[in-house]
Amino acid sequence: MANSDTYKGIYAMHKYWGKKPFNEISKFIEKYSEPNETVMDCFCGSGVTLIEAVKAGRKAVGVDLNPIAIKLAHASLTAVNIDEINKIFENIKTTLQETINSMYEMEFEGENTMVTHTIWKNGEPIEVWYRTDKEKKKIRAGNSTDIKMCNEPAIEAKWYPKSIMFENSRINVGKEQKVSDLFTPRALVGLSLLLDEIKKIEDEKLKEVFELTLSGTLSQASNLVFVIRRRKKNKGEKPRAEVGSWVIGYWVPEEHFEINVWNCFENRFKRILKGEQEIYSLFSEKSDSYMQEYVKLINGSATQIPIDDNSVDYVFIDPPHTNRVLYMEQSLMWNAWLGLDEEIEWDNEIVVTEAKNRKKKNSDNYNLLLDKAFGEIYRVLKPNRYFSLAFNCLDDNIWIDILNLSVHHGFEIRDIVPLEYSATSVI
DSSP letters spanning 311-351 = -EEEEEE----TTS--HHHHTHHHHHHTT-STT--GGG---
Give CA–CA dist 291/372, Å, rounded.
29
pLDDT band at 1 (very low <50, low <70, confident <90, very high): very low
Residue 219 has pLDDT above 70, yes or no: yes
Identify whether 426 is part of a domain. no
3 state SS of 201: coil
Sign of the dihedral through C-alpha 5, 251, 318, 37 = negative
Between CA 387 and CA 396, with CA 391 as vertex, the angle to 5 degrees is: 120
Note whether residue 278 is domain-resident: no
**11, 60, 278, 385 from 56: Cα distances, Å:** 17, 10, 15, 18
State how far the Cα of 304 lies from the Cα of 374, in Å rounded to an integer: 10
The predicted model gives 127-140 an average pLDDT of: 95
Tell me: do 353 and 383 sit in the same domain: yes
Query: In this structure, what CATH number is given to the domain that contains residue 60?
Result: 3.40.50.150
Quote the domain boundaries for residue 383.
9-79+286-408
When pLDDT is cut at 50, 70 and 90, the band that residue 237 belongs to is: low
Are residues 233 and 313 located together in one domain of the fold?
no
Q: What is the pLDDT of residues 331-385, one digit of tens each?
A: 999 999 999 999 899 999 999 999 999 999 999 999 999 999 999 999 999 999 9
Distance of CA 185 to the CA centre of its chain: 23
**Same domain as 117, residue 68:** no
CA distance 94 to 115: 20
Q: What is the pLDDT of residue 5?
A: 53
Residue 423 or 399, more confident: 399
Q: Are residues 100 and 74 in the same domain?
A: no
Tell me: do 252 and 106 sit in the same domain.
yes
111 in the same domain as 32: no
Compute how many other C-beta atoms are within 10 angstroms of the C-beta atom of residue 136. Answer: 9
Residue 30 included in any domain: yes
381-408 pLDDT per residue, tens: 999 999 999 988 888 888 898 889 999 9
Alpha carbon distance 3, 39 (integer Å): 22
126 and 254 part of one domain: yes
On whether both 137 and 250 belong to a single domain, the answer is: yes
For residues 347 and 250, state if they share a domain.
Answer: no
Whether residue 216 sits in one domain with residue 173: yes
SS3 state at 426: coil
Verify that 115 and 210 share a domain, yes or no.
Answer: yes
pLDDT of residue 239: 78
User: Is there a domain that residue 391 lies in?
Assistant: yes
From residue 206, how far is each of 201, 210, 213, 276 by CA, in Å? 7, 7, 11, 11
Residue 150: CB atoms within 10 A of its CB come to: 20
Mark whether 233 and 105 lie in a shared domain: yes
pLDDT of 425 strictly over 50: no
State how many domains the chain has.
Answer: 2
382 in any annotated domain: yes
Mean pLDDT of the residues in the chain: 93
Write down the pLDDT at residue 18: 81
CA dist 331 and 219 (Å) reads 11
Degrees, nearest 5: CA angle 346-348-351: 85
